[in-house]
């Protein structure tokens, strides 16, 4: 159905609008996660907060891929498509990385050739440049229209972009302490650089004077208040705003974790000083 416009949402089947397949996968993923972290081999390895973030991430994935948002974005509205992209690449990956237990990463990415390949592509500079190059190329009109016109190519592209987004977020979230190579200050700089690198792609869309994507040129309007060019520009704005909001949230997450580390270090230093004082006092008494 990609590349072919429908006159209204009523012409799209219920299963295409509310994908039961994607819903079942999401339910299964949440079920497996809670089983393994509550009663299974990963019992006690995640906090309540991690469980909440993981669940929100899976729900976000279903909204992006299994609800009418997907169909609207594919056939009618570029802004809906960009909202879908924002969920998939800027919201779902960091929340999943936060929500999964450390042992999960160690078993899959900690050893062997998979681990070596993963560690290479999650090096901060490589991950940052790779993701921004891929997502910028994707939004070039000739590539975008080609991808949107072929279902298989579209899904492959989603997988590649989603994988690269996980790699881009990895240095920021730092799920494994032994692979967390960036300081908190460097992570702030990393996020700032990410925002700068994505800006040209968003600006190209926001400030375009004409429709640049053939996919939506003759699309039926399901939002009467939004003309095609306005819809295109709104898509760029949505992507940029979503990016800034999630980056702000991640910066807050880094700040909170930074404060906790400093408090823990202060307590450790206080305890060390007290122990040294007690030791000196004991020696003096002797």
Range of 42's domain? 9-285
pLDDT at position 8:
60
236/219 Cα distance (integer angstroms)? 18
pLDDT at position 3:
47
pLDDT at position 2:
46
pLDDT at position 237:
93
pLDDT at position 1:
43
pLDDT at position 178:
82
From residue 236, alpha-carbon distances to 5, 13, 86, 89, 154 in Å are: 22, 29, 11, 15, 20
DSSP codes of every residue in 47-70: -HHHHHHHHHHHHHHHHHHHSHHH
Block means of pLDDT (10 residues each) for the chain, 286 residues, are: 53 81 96 88 85 96 94 89 94 94 84 86 94 93 93 93 95 87 88 89 89 86 80 91 88 82 76 74 66
**pTM to 2 decimal places:** 0.84
Nearest to 61 by CA among 34, 105, 27, 31: 27
Looking at the domain assignment, is residue 184 inside a domain? yes
Looking at the domain assignment, is residue 4 inside a domain? no
From residue 146, alpha-carbon distances to 19, 149, 152, 205 in Å are: 24, 5, 11, 17
Looking at the domain assignment, is residue 62 inside a domain? yes
Residue owning tokens 């009467």: 224
* Domain count of the fold of the chain: 1
């Amino acid at each position: 159905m990609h590349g072919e416009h429908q006159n209204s949402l009523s012409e799209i089947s219920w299963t295409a609008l509310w994908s039961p397949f994607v819903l079942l996968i999401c339910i299964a993923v949440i079920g497996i996660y809670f089983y393994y972290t509550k009663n299974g081999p990963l019992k006690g390895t995640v906090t309540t907060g991690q469980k909440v973030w993981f669940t929100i991430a899976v729900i976000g994935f279903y909204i992006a891929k299994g609800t009418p948002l997907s169909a609207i974005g594919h056939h009618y509205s570029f802004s809906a498509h960009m909202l879908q992209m924002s969920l998939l690449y800027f919201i779902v990956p960091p929340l999943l990385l936060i929500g999964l237990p450390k042992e999960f990463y160690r078993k899959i990415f900690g050893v062997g050739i998979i681990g070596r390949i993963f560690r290479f592509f999650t090096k901060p500079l490589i991950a940052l440049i790779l993701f921004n190059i891929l997502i910028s190329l994707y939004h070039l009109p000739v590539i975008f229209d080609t991808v949107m016109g072929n279902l298989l190519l579209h899904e492959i592209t989603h997988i590649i972009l989603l994988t690269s987004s996980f790699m881009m977020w990895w240095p920021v979230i730092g799920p494994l302490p032994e692979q967390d190579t960036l300081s908190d200050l460097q992570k702030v700089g990393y996020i700032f650089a990410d925002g700068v690198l994505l800006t040209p792609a968003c600006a190209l869309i926001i400030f375009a004077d004409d429709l640049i994507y053939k996919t939506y040129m003759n699309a039926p309007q399901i939002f009467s208040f939004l003309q095609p060019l306005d819809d295109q520009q709104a898509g760029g704005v949505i992507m940029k705003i979503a990016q800034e909001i999630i980056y702000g949230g991640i910066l807050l997450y880094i700040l909170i974790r930074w404060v906790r580390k400093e408090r823990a270090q202060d307590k450790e230093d206080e305890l060390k000083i007290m122990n040294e004082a007690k030791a000196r006092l004991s020696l003096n008494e002797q």
